[in-house]
Amino acid sequence: MTGSRSTDVFVIGGGPAGLAAAIAARRQGFNVIVADRARGPIDKACGEGLMPDGLDALRELGVSLDECETGSFRGIKFVGPEGSVHADFPRGRGIGIRRLLLHEALYRHAEKLGVKTWWGVRVTAASDAAVVIDGNAIRSRWIVGADGQNSQTRGWANLSTCISFDRRIGMRQHFQVKPWSEFVEIHWAQAGQAYITPISADEICVALISKRRFQSFDTGLVNFPELHQHLRGAPRTSNPKGAVTIYRHLRSVVHGNFALVGEASGSVDAITGEGLAMAFRQALALSSALAEGDLATYQTAHRQIAKLPEFMANAMLLMDKSSWLKSRALRAFDRKPSLFEQMLSVHVGERPLVPFGPHGFINLGWNLLTAP
């Protein structure tokens, strides 16, 4: 922390959402400071996949991952006792990347643009006039809360009113094994889901998500027999890391000169794989609103960004909550893969929300209910 006592934009939280917001604001010509208690690079338990729409947003921020070690996948595959189904993305490919590498790439780009980053400092208060760090007040025209699920900024900005809320538990571990699939695989079981993402030519990320807490990563893994067999004897390249995945819908994400981005602004269940993509799109939308001097336009854009991921999360969580519906859905997808292809196209924003004919998702529901 050096002698700055004022800035145009102060970002509280230096994770991917905060750095993306800082990058986008800096590209609009604002002076930007980012502060975080942690010291980078910052890790977090997640599935570590970026689908084509998320990569589009990252490119729009000017961030390149060309020098990073990554894996590649062409689409999504559902696997369950009733069968399996896969679909390619309508365009492009996704990548898997270690969260630490992604954070480093964002940090390097922010520094290159001239964003000031203060690590290992604690923000103790914020008002419409200033942010207080270790007893020092920093004046800022705009204050951006990117401090995650347990955001303090929400409280300081009077933005904590929540319309809906739910949570599940996630665990992540890496394995040194050549990816056996060109897809991100989602394995379905009574206990929850397991995500397998290729993150290099010889390493994968495995994330388990469940309503209940597993005693250990291994006790969770045995719920997925096919995956458990694939990983038998594979060396582990990281320790297990856990996190809470939250669905939170806030009434508002702006107040006065405060704005929230990333998980501080609400979140969808990790089942969508869209958390990072949403944060990047929010950062771009916020920077446009800052340039216009009107945060109301960001509120509107934020609601639109969240609309599709929330819908898809709710649809897939219905499968998680109902064994009967999950079995019906997997059988329907196995019997008619075009349904799954259309759903994936909707999920990545390539088709409108109602691609299943004149009655939209009613037709999809009918196919699920009548699956043999």
Domain presence at residue 149: yes
Check whether residue 13 and residue 153 sit in a common domain.
yes
What letter would DSSP give residue 29? Answer: T
For every residue of 77-123, which 3-state class applies, written as one string?
Answer: EEEECCEEEEEECCCCCEEECCHHHHHHHHHHHHHHHCCEEEECCCE
Check whether residue 23 and residue 143 sit in a common domain.
yes
Domain presence at residue 148: yes
Q: Which of 213, 244, 275 represents a domain boundary (last residue)?
A: 244
Check whether residue 144 and residue 25 sit in a common domain.
yes
| Angle 350-107-53 from CA coordinates, rounded to 5° | 5
Check whether residue 214 and residue 344 sit in a common domain.
no
Domain presence at residue 90: no
Q: Which of 244, 273, 295 represents a domain boundary (last residue)?
A: 244
Domain presence at residue 362: yes
**What DSSP assignment string belongs to 327-365?**
HHHHHHHHH-HHHHHHHHHHHTTSS-S--SSTTTHHHHH
Check whether residue 21 and residue 130 sit in a common domain.
yes
Residue-range definition of the domain harbouring residue 353:
322-369
Query: Does the structure show a pLDDT above 90 at 1?
Result: no
Domain presence at residue 184: yes
Percentage, residues of the chain above pLDDT 70 = 94
Check whether residue 151 and residue 229 sit in a common domain.
no
pLDDT of 104-121, one tens digit each? 999 999 999 999 999 999
Give the per-residue pLDDT at 2: 54
Check whether residue 219 and residue 266 sit in a common domain.
no
Check whether residue 21 and residue 123 sit in a common domain.
yes
Residues found in the chain: 372
Give the per-residue pLDDT at 135: 87
Q: Which of 212, 244, 276 represents a domain boundary (last residue)?
A: 244
Query: Does the structure show a pLDDT above 70 at 372?
Result: no
pLDDT of 37-95, one tens digit each? 998 788 888 889 999 999 999 999 999 999 999 999 999 999 998 889 999 999 999 99
Check whether residue 288 and residue 178 sit in a common domain.
no
Q: CATH number of the domain that 206 lies in?
A: 3.30.9.100
Give the per-residue pLDDT at 350: 77
Domain presence at residue 125: yes
Total structural domains in the chain? 3
pLDDT of 215-247, one tens digit each? 999 999 999 999 999 999 999 999 999 988 888
Domain presence at residue 91: no
Domain presence at residue 308: yes
Check whether residue 141 and residue 274 sit in a common domain.
yes
Q: Work out the pLDDT band at 356, boundaries 50, 70, 90.
A: very low
Q: Work out the pLDDT band at 332, boundaries 50, 70, 90.
A: confident
pLDDT of 120-151, one tens digit each? 999 999 998 899 998 899 999 999 999 999 99
Check whether residue 27 and residue 126 sit in a common domain.
yes
Whether the Cβ atoms of residue 347 and residue 272 lie closer than 8 Å to each other: yes
The tokens for 105 are 């790439």
Give the per-residue pLDDT at 354: 58
Q: How far is CA 231 from CA 64, 182, 204, in A?
A: 31, 17, 10
Query: Does the structure show a pLDDT above 50 at 362?
Result: no
Check whether residue 365 and residue 236 sit in a common domain.
no
Q: Which residue has the higher pLDDT, 271 or 185?
A: 185
**329 Cβ partners below 8 Å, 6+ apart?**
319, 368, 371
Q: How far is CA 356 from CA 18, 266, 272, 341, 367, in A?
A: 37, 29, 20, 11, 10
Q: CATH number of the domain that 145 lies in?
A: 3.50.50.60
